[in-house]
Structure 1
Amino acid sequence: MRILYLSQYFPPEVGATQTRAYEMASNWIRQGHSVTMLTEFPNHPSGIIPQEYKGKLIERSILDGINIIRVWVNASPIKNYRNRMLFYLSYMLNAIVTGLFFVRGRFNIIYATSPPLFVGGTALVLSYLKRIPMVFEIRDLWPESAIALGELSNQRAITWATRLEEICYRRAIQVVVVTHGIYDRLIQRGVPQERLIVIPNGANIDLFTFKASERGQIRKELGLEGKFVAIYAGIHGLAQGLETILESARLLRESPNIHFLLVGDGPKKAEILSLARVYKLPNLTLLPEQPRETIPGYLSAADIALVPLRNAEIFKGALPSKIFDAWACERPVLISIDGEAREVVENVRGGIYIPPENPTLIAKALIELMNSPLELEVMGKNGHAYTVLNHSRKILAERLISHLENYVKK
């Protein structure tokens, strides 16, 4: 099949959205399909477009067989409501124009991933005008999640966003969701069951493996030899509530054998750095965003991976890919997400659950886990076996494209 893939975020940006889009597209290429990726000039999450893109409106390139067309966006390091809207809308408008006039050839489907929801708006226009079937992927319910996190409160904006969302569901020949929680919610909202398919997040099990040599090297470089290391590697955003992790570190500052390692960037990174300076924590290391190919080494250097989200009802349907990345590296997880993620982790016996935004219980759990190395090893191996069997990115991509091929043929 020939696929026009719309994802506002894409490598070299680092993040779950970028990784899923790249892994899906690259696996489809290896299966003999053609993929054109319509994305933005890289800037996320810093909001700064690299110098080599300045003065351009469009740039074409090829990455691992994926035809990439990048468009200019109105990016800004200041993440207020106005700037976010300009950012999203600039992608939508420029992607529509580019898709209509600069994307060559015929396509069997348009595959659009949301959020940002405005990617769905792009797909709607291109699907209608170019008469191409549209597949809509939902990684997070928007605007519901934005409302729950306090990011969106303008009633007019909520109304318009909800209308756009519902039009996307109606137009799509298939709606791909990443969790059963989102699946159930869309059923409640009237999306026909036969138009829904669950393709969960996963891990690249070829890239994400336990790396003993890198474990020793990284621990030595960071002065973590002999420490029990709890790592968080990912976006430093509003949803994660990383202030809770810093509060746990503050509670454990007199426990010198436990160390926290936070790797990544994002809109809340400046606040996290500021809070760390106030707390003056000797048991905390903060690193900037790292290339994705180095993350398995950092996970291997840790003893447990932290996967937190804020205490919001919407997150009971979340199942972050960080869980599977950690498990692929044989690292157990400490999750602070109730609902579907908790159920998976407890059923697999690949980690422990702590209620969201509870630094005291996180601190207590880490002390207990530090003194239970055999239990940690078993949890890590349980998670690894489950991920290889059920959450390989390659297998998930094959499952999805096989489903879409059959559906398009109908």
Structure 2
Amino acid sequence: MFAGNLGQAQDIPVIIAAADLLRDEPNLRWIIVGDGRAGADAREEVARRGLEGRVIFAGRYPIERMPSFFAAADALLVSLRDEPIWSLTIPGKVQSYLASGKPVVAMLNGEGARVIAESGGGVAGPAGDAAALAENVRTLMAMPVERRAEIGQAGRAYCQREFDRAQLVNKLEGWIEELGN
């Protein structure tokens, strides 16, 4: 499942290309929750490729509903285009995804990919690489359910350890105190 904005930065055409590479996987559905400027083009491309039963656009929902969508997903997808600026950022959804306890499939470079790898909470492939994304999805699908659950729990533990608000405030206060000395 992909949840969030469908814009140019998310590189939705490459996700659709990966879905096309996996069109013969009988138990695979790509659920896209959200919408945005690239949404209409994405729906057209899915129709052009004949992937309507494989890529499902669920539409836009309030953020309060996201935990229920996350809970129903087998894995959560995050992607950013292959541009230098995007390699410097960790998309906010990475933290939300890791906190959900579900495995993360990432198609991005730089800091976001580093966090996914470091957390053990998923698999990350290069931005803009449909074949690598498809292979990472295949890898997760081939894993036993118990192993995917372990990966999800590793991501949750990492999120709690590294992104806990109180812990981050304490670190920030410590750095400020060091600078004052």
Tell me the TM-score range normalised by the shorter chain: 0.7 to 0.9
| 1:287 match: secondary structure | strand
Structure 1's unaligned 5+ residue stretches are: 1-230
Equivalent residue for 2:103? 332
Alpha carbon RMSD of aligned pairs, Å? Answer: 2.1
Residue 328 of structure 1: how far off its partner (Å): 1.1
Looking at structure 1, the residues matched to 167 and 13 of structure 2 have their Cα atoms a distance apart, in angstroms, of: 34
Equivalent residue for 2:37? 267
Looking at structure 2, the residues matched to 286 and 396 of structure 1 have their Cα atoms a distance apart, in angstroms, of: 37
Residue 273 of structure 1: how far off its partner (Å): 1.3
Equivalent residue for 1:241? 11
Residue 326 of structure 1: how far off its partner (Å): 1.1
Residue 335 of structure 1: how far off its partner (Å): 1.2
One-letter amino acid matched to 2:28:
I
Looking at structure 2, the residues matched to 237 and 265 of structure 1 have their Cα atoms a distance apart, in angstroms, of: 8
Residue 322 of structure 1: how far off its partner (Å): 1.0
Looking at structure 2, the residues matched to 264 and 397 of structure 1 have their Cα atoms a distance apart, in angstroms, of: 30
Structure 2's unaligned 5+ residue stretches are: none
Pairs aligned (count): 174
Residue 375 of structure 1: how far off its partner (Å): 2.8
| 2:2 match: secondary structure | strand
Which one of the candidate residues 123, 146, 153 is aligned to 1:381?
153
Residue 252 of structure 1: how far off its partner (Å): 1.4
Task: After the TM superposition, list the runs of 4 or more consecutive aligned residues in structure 1 that deviate by more than 2 angstroms.
Answer: 394-403
The answer to which structure, 1 or 2, has the higher relative contact order (CA under 8 A, 6+ apart) is 2
Which one of the candidate residues 66, 74, 81 is aligned to 1:310?
81
Q: Does 1:358 align with 2:133?
A: no
One-letter amino acid matched to 1:269:
G
Deviations 1:98-134 (A, max 9, x none): xxxxxxxxxxxxxxxxxxxxxxxxxxxxxxxxxxxxx
Larger gyration radius, structure 1 or structure 2: 1
TM-score norm. by structure 1 comes to 0.40
Check conservation: 2:105, 2:123, Cα contact below 8 A. yes
Looking at structure 2, the residues matched to 232 and 289 of structure 1 have their Cα atoms a distance apart, in angstroms, of: 12
What is the identity percentage for the equivalent residue pairs of Structure 1 and Structure 2?
A: 28
Q: Which has the higher helix share?
A: 2
One-letter amino acid matched to 1:246:
I
Which one of the candidate residues 90, 103, 114 is aligned to 1:319?
90
